[in-house]
Amino acid sequence: MAALKKRKAVKSPSPSSSEGEEEEEAVNGIEGASGSEELDSDISTDSEDELNTSSDSEHSSQPSQEVVNVDFEYFDPKPDDFHGIKALLRTYLDDEVWDISAFTDLVLAQTTVGTVVKAGEDDSPIGLLTALNLGRYQKSSCMTEVHKYLRVKSAHKAESALLEDFWDKQANETALLISERLINVPLELAPPLYQGLFEEVMWATEDEPTQELRDSFKIKNYLYLTKVFEEVLKDNKGENKEQSKTQSEGSEITGELIYIKPEDEILHQLSSWSFSFPVTGESTAARQTKGLQQLRLVMAVEAKHIDKFQTQLKNLVE
């Protein structure tokens, strides 16, 4: 996507943390904060102990801060990105055994719509944003597995029928929105990423070589699976328990959510329907950490709200 090869200079530590480290960092960064807070792009490699040093010791001799300058750039997906993108998608379906390699191949094959974020052209991807049309790829085994995963998780929820409608009657005009990035990638990179994606979708409706492909990008709905946290309360005996939920006619109302990616809160507010469920996989930090429990959030956003989303996202960053 040559039109979005915009260079963004930020200060950041080397973005190579594992999934578990990312989630722990997410908890530390968002606990007690709202999802609308702007992420500071000046991030040093100080340890947590150094950050919590008392004022009495501030004047003592300490190692100088180490700041690494990183220029993030946006690129079209390419075959060399396979392992990096696969790593970003490693916990997309929690601990499910599924064909993640084939799913990665779908992302790589769609070069006209989709972007990867890297510190340099030859570096490993640290962010991914793309949209895959359900109708175009619904016969792929990996997309079938994504469907099965969501169908099982939506069981006994009112949104289950809406989800199935997306994969059946509305598949040709619905896209699976995939947004994955390391937690220390600055939020400032998000607005041009999303702008580029939705511009590419619009261009594809005119520029793709066949009518079938052009029609596949005439998207009316986006289906989005993401990660969030939910606060865990304590009862009078001091025992942890999930924040109370009430159900009415099969519709679940969750407690307050903490958004790992701040733009997810905007998408959630604009969504036509959504549901959440707890993470169950051991390797995906399903444990309760510092009063927070990790959930998966599924939401549907109508394409007609995209302009409003982009405006609110830019305002959030500014």
Does this model's pTM top 0.85? no
Q: What is the CATH number of the domain that holds 230?
A: 3.40.630
pLDDT, tens digit, for every residue of 176-211? Answer: 999 999 988 899 999 999 999 999 999 999 999 999
Query: Would residue 200 count as lying in a domain?
Result: yes
Query: Would residue 53 count as lying in a domain?
Result: no
Query: Would residue 240 count as lying in a domain?
Result: yes
Strands 273-278 and 257-259, how do they pair? unpaired
Query: Would residue 104 count as lying in a domain?
Result: yes
Domain holding 101, by residue range, is 2-29+65-317
User: Which tokens hold the place of 122?
Assistant: 């030859």
What's the number of domains the chain is made of? 1
pLDDT at residue 280, rounded to an integer = 77
Sequence-distant (≥ 6) Cβ neighbours of residue 19 within 8 angstroms? 90, 91, 283, 284, 285
pLDDT at residue 71, rounded to an integer = 81
Query: Would residue 35 count as lying in a domain?
Result: no
Least confident of 1-15, 167-181, 243-257, 275-289: 1-15
Rounded to whole angstroms, the Cα distance separating 83 from 198 reads: 25
Question: 13, 45 in Cβ contact below 8 A?
Answer: yes
Query: Would residue 164 count as lying in a domain?
Result: yes
Query: Would residue 37 count as lying in a domain?
Result: no
Query: Would residue 43 count as lying in a domain?
Result: no
- Give the confidence band of 161 by pLDDT, cuts at 50, 70, 90: very high
